[in-house]
Amino acid sequence: MKQSASSPSAGRAGKKRRGTSPTKALAAAELDALHDSGKSLSAHLDFTQARRPGREVQRVNVDFPLEMLRVIDQEAKRIGVTRQALIKLRLADTLDEG
């Protein structure tokens, strides 16, 4: 059966697959053996496709009164973190208590 040009496989024909590395692909058992022997696996992994499940980020905008920002900035400077880090820390602390 002939595939139409709009089919997913027709669109992929001739394109290089993302995430492929120039090194030989290893079977799971081979990767296990490398890991168990303490050797580095990085040559066989594609970190550009790596994801941290549950740690995806979504950007949000929040408006703060100027005086509150001054206090946030003072506290952030006192403990040596960025404004964003301080806000995340305090929110996480508050949510953990609830």
Token pair, residue 15, equals 């394109």
pLDDT in tens, 61-78: 999 999 999 999 999 999
Burial class (CB in 10 A: 0-12, 13-18, 19+), 54: exposed
Domain range summary for the chain, segments of one domain joined by +:
22-49+62-97
Nearest to 25 by CA among 46, 9, 52, 39: 46
User: Is the whole model's pTM more than 0.85, yes or no?
Assistant: no
In order along its 98 residues, the chain shows pLDDT tens digits of: 555 555 555 555 555 555 554 556 778 888 889 889 988 888 888 888 888 888 888 999 999 999 999 999 999 999 999 999 999 999 999 999 87
Whole-number pLDDT of residue 82 = 97
